[in-house]
Structure 1
Amino acid sequence: MRQKIVHVTEALGGGVLQYLLLLANSQARAGDDVVIIHSMRSDTPSSERLDRLFDPRVRRRVIDMKTAVGLHDLWTAPVLAMVLRSENADIFHFHSSKAAAIGRISAKILGIGDRVLYSPHGFSFLKKDISPRKAKAYLFIERFLHALGGHIVTCSKSERLYASRLLGRSDRISVVENAVELTDFSESDATRGRRAVTVCTAGRVTYQKAPWRFSRIAKRAKRDAVDFVWFGDGESTAVSEWIDRDALELTGWIESSRLRKQLAECDVFVLTSLWEGMPIALIEAQAAGLPAVVSRIVGNRDVVIHGVTGFLANNDEELFLYTERLINDSALRMRMGAAAREFAFRRFGGHKFFSSYVRLYRQLLNGPQGHHPVVVSDYWIEGAKK
């Protein structure tokens, strides 16, 4: 059934961009009428690059949505409401907190709340760089907005558990796990285990990713035949404060296709984040056949099977010790890397991701009768009709 789907996001970079590329392009290829409404931030690719990345049938509209909360939102809200009204879509899918906040209020005013989905990509109230008072305020706002209507789509089982406990109305909270296009991943480099060990990570250098942790690991573990690489970049102040260039290489921004080829030439992936939704970079690393050492947080623990595809670390010392263990044991690296690739290919494919959204959209359009939250995984299905 052909549908008109409008995606709205204030942020169109990093993981949100990869998510929308996979979803919107799949929807356009399936014959849906797809529109993406977004703003242009410092981390948003140029319009020319976005046109190359998205299917030509995906239409984009740019409006100014600021990241910070302020008086400008009084202007943004009616503008977005007019745009939503003009599009007259079957489904309105909001991404990330800011666009979803403005969008859900606009949807309520327009009387289209029953056709709204919200993908948080990591709840704001779980951030570690804000005060407890601000976290409580964000939680209050999320509860208020959830009460207005619409359906929350979390990207991991852990995120759904938090949402159900803290926001209520679990019948309007589902899971569709993040995914990647697996056809982009070739077999791992055959020279792994017979050359210098490369330990890598990927993403934007921000407080969320705890880059000082990766720098400390690199400084302690770096020696002859062991290299550390951070694929990505960040604001100059963040880089200068948290990245030790004597201990690791910072590559700067690279295209996704090149990143995936680079991952195949690495040996260990380390992700030291303080909070996540479900990191796409980690899924990509596992699909590339890399054993991972990650902080034991929401999202990470949904991707890595401790002791099988990598290690979940409870603190900084464990992050270092597990990384050292993999550096020193090539057989363990190869075994875990093979398990990681096999697991990723079974669980995080783009086809399952797209078909899960087809099902969820259909449930939303058919109304509440017989609706059950969709939870997608090979390993657990909760509340879904089989």
Structure 2
Amino acid sequence: MKILHITESFGGGVTSAINSYILNSQQHEHYLLASVRKGDTTGEESQGLFKHMELVPRRLSSLARVKPYIDRVQPDVIHLHSTYAGALIRALPFIPAQKIVYTPHGFAFLRGDHPMMLKAYRAIESLLARRTAVIAGCGMDEQRIAGELIEPGHTLGLVNVCDELPKVPTVRSLTSKPVVGMVGRIGRQKGHEYFRVVAESCRDIAHFKWIGGGDARAMAELEHAGIEVTGWRPRAEVIAHMQGLDLYFHTAAWDGFPISVLEAAKLDLPIALRRIGPFVAEGLVTAQDVDDARKTVIAFAKADASVLADLRRNCSSIRSLHSGEQLQSSLEDLYSRFTPRPTADRLAIG
């Protein structure tokens, strides 16, 4: 079966997720049409097992490249990744709705925007759901939300997984304090303000480190608060920095199921989590608010046995559920819902 993946946000966690889907469904031919967000490259962009890939500039004029590429590939499934690609591609009338799989990697209407904007995002998603065969959410929570937009029988959950991590020397911060870290783009979605507030309230007992980059002003604000900021790094260097953490604290305000959390679990790090849907849906221990987060960090730094047990339980629970076997089974369920075209009807890609 030919599967065409389309995304406008090839970079960061979306890259890792798509590559993991391909790695766990190699019985199919996978193609990619994507744009890479400036500054989001991780070094993984060329590592996917694609039959063919085409990267285009990240601008609206690149939509003109969609139909010619689809005509060349003749895919059986068109798998859309991210809310922007999901909206733009489903709005194109020549895209056959019966071939569309949509994975949001975090619905836009979960953002902390103005209520009217959130209602607009949700209305758009509800409308475009009619142009979708299956919404394949990242985990149980995104599947649950998808079931509010489309008939639940047309939803499915794909657990994100973490592939083998590169073997790299550890990068440690120059501090004697416990190091608390977060990975991702510095911005509202990943909760950089939340992280900053917790860091400022715990600076006497812990060293805080943000592994990633983003808006220059936001980066400066974190550094002014005494937070170590690495800027964007290739994935191997990200893992090297993560190995030097004592506690991973994921502070995103909304998310699918972040690859960085899976990487932290793979590294056997204690994991603290802000209370958002994907973590609650899996029964993980979460911080209710900033004050609860502050108490968690303080208790961790003081080696509180009960808190340490909760943070390590998060790690073991995540590793148990997010397995390659589980993802392989879900992907087989997903793609088996579509019928491959007879070989004679296919056009070979040049």
TM bucket normalised to smaller: 0.7 to 0.9
C-alpha displacement of 1:262: 3.3
> Which has the higher mean CA deviation after the structures are superposed, 169-178 or 357-366?
357-366
- Change in Cα spacing, 1:261 to 1:49, as seen in structure 2 (3 Å) is closer
1:38 maps onto 2:34 in alignment? yes
Residue 56 of structure 2 is matched in structure 1 by 63
C-alpha displacement of 1:31: 4.5
CA distance in 1, matches of 2:238, 2:62: 35
- Normalised to the residue count of structure 1, the TM-score between the two structures is 0.78
Residue 102 of structure 2 is matched in structure 1 by 118
C-alpha displacement of 1:288: 1.9
DSSP 3-state at the match of 1:354: helix
- Change in Cα spacing, 1:331 to 1:262, as seen in structure 2 (3 Å) is farther
Residue 348 of structure 1 is matched in structure 2 by 322
CA distance in 1, matches of 2:312, 2:166: 13
Q: Out of 13, 18, 33, which is 1:15 matched to? A: 13
CA distance in 2, matches of 1:24, 1:58: 11
1:109 maps onto 2:94 in alignment? yes
C-alpha displacement of 1:93: 0.3
Work out whether residues 291 and 333 of structure 1, in 8 Å CA contact, stay in contact via their aligned partners in 2.
no
Runs of 5+ consecutive residues of structure 2 not aligned to the other structure: 171-175, 341-350
CA distance in 2, matches of 1:319, 1:60: 42
Runs of 5+ consecutive residues of structure 1 not aligned to the other structure: 67-71, 190-194, 307-311, 367-386
DSSP 3-state at the match of 2:37: coil
Q: Out of 257, 277, 285, which is 1:278 matched to? A: 257
C-alpha displacement of 1:44: 4.2
DSSP 3-state at the match of 1:180: coil
CA distance in 1, matches of 2:119, 2:225: 40
CA distance in 1, matches of 2:296, 2:308: 15
CA distance in 1, matches of 2:7, 2:222: 30
DSSP 3-state at the match of 2:338: helix
Deviations 1:273-297 (A, max 9, x none): 2111112212222232222222211
1:223 maps onto 2:204 in alignment? yes
DSSP 3-state at the match of 1:208: coil
CA distance in 1, matches of 2:166, 2:304: 22
Residue 347 of structure 2 is matched in structure 1 by none
CA distance in 1, matches of 2:111, 2:310: 30
Deviations 1:107-138 (A, max 9, x none): x534x32221000001111111x222221111
Work out whether residues 264 and 289 of structure 1, in 8 Å CA contact, stay in contact via their aligned partners in 2.
no
CA distance in 1, matches of 2:276, 2:309: 24
Work out whether residues 24 and 327 of structure 2, in 8 Å CA contact, stay in contact via their aligned partners in 1.
no
> Which has the higher mean CA deviation after the structures are superposed, 200-209 or 280-289?
280-289
Work out whether residues 289 and 340 of structure 1, in 8 Å CA contact, stay in contact via their aligned partners in 2.
no
Matched length? 334
Alignment root-mean-square deviation, CA = 2.7
DSSP 3-state at the match of 1:314: coil
DSSP 3-state at the match of 1:207: coil
Deviations 1:47-103 (A, max 9, x none): x8633x233x5421123443xxxxx4xx55454133222210111100012212222
CA distance in 2, matches of 1:121, 1:103: 16
- Change in Cα spacing, 1:202 to 1:13, as seen in structure 2 (3 Å) is same
C-alpha displacement of 1:223: 2.7
Identity of aligned residues (%): 22
CA distance in 1, matches of 2:12, 2:279: 17
Work out whether residues 78 and 99 of structure 2, in 8 Å CA contact, stay in contact via their aligned partners in 1.
yes
C-alpha displacement of 1:339: 3.1
CA distance in 1, matches of 2:317, 2:225: 35
Q: Out of 67, 74, 79, which is 1:88 matched to? A: 74
C-alpha displacement of 1:249: 0.8
Work out whether residues 283 and 303 of structure 1, in 8 Å CA contact, stay in contact via their aligned partners in 2.
no
Work out whether residues 198 and 294 of structure 2, in 8 Å CA contact, stay in contact via their aligned partners in 1.
yes
Deviating 4+ runs (over 4 angstroms): 75-78, 330-334
Deviations 1:142-173 (A, max 9, x none): 111111232101112222222222x1312211
- Change in Cα spacing, 1:247 to 1:256, as seen in structure 2 (3 Å) is same
Q: Which has the higher contact order (CA 8 A, sep 6+)?
A: 2
- Change in Cα spacing, 1:351 to 1:256, as seen in structure 2 (3 Å) is farther
DSSP 3-state at the match of 2:257: coil
Work out whether residues 213 and 219 of structure 2, in 8 Å CA contact, stay in contact via their aligned partners in 1.
yes
C-alpha displacement of 1:42: 0.7
- Change in Cα spacing, 1:64 to 1:259, as seen in structure 2 (3 Å) is closer
- Normalised to the residue count of structure 2, the TM-score between the two structures is 0.85
Q: How does 1:1-386 map to 2 (within 5 A)?
A: 3-27=1-25, 30-45=26-41, 50-51=45-46, 53-55=47-49, 57-66=50-59, 72=60, 75-106=61-92, 109-110=94-95, 112-128=96-112, 130-165=113-148, 167-181=149-163, 183-184=164-165, 196-223=177-204, 226-240=206-220, 242-245=221-224, 247-302=226-281, 305-306=284-285, 312-329=286-303, 331-332=305-306, 335-336=309-310, 338-365=312-339
DSSP 3-state at the match of 2:130: helix
C-alpha displacement of 1:214: 1.4
